[in-house]
Amino acid sequence: HDSGDPYRRVLIRLLRDGDASLQKLAEAFNISARTLQRKLADEGLRYQQLLDDTRRMQAQEYLRDTRLALADIAGLLGYSEQSAFNRAFRQWIGMTPAKWRQQQR
């Protein structure tokens, strides 16, 4: 069982909807942002870390689906620009999303 799982599932939806803020995530669970931060801290997590981990895992999942364009994947992950997604992905994985996708084939 991965820590933060229920939060990750909701974050994926919020990212697709375009607002995965701490506030929106807290609202989805009917708790305050402060309470959410406390609950995450109890699991050894911070919001930004949870968001980054969720984006990284979803990016890899979306990239395995070769029908999705990189720009669409960037949008699904809440990035306004594909270049921002490319930068983040390179930091996480050490290569561009396009190169990673090629290696998965």
Does domain 5-104 fall under CATH 1.10.10.60? My reply is yes
Per-residue confidence (pLDDT) for residue 105, from 0 to 100: 82
Tens of pLDDT, residues 87-97: 999 999 999 99
pLDDT at 76 over 90: yes
pLDDT at 74 over 90: yes
String of DSSP letters for 62-100: HHHSTTS-HHHHHHHTT-SSHHHHHHHHHHHHSS-HHHH
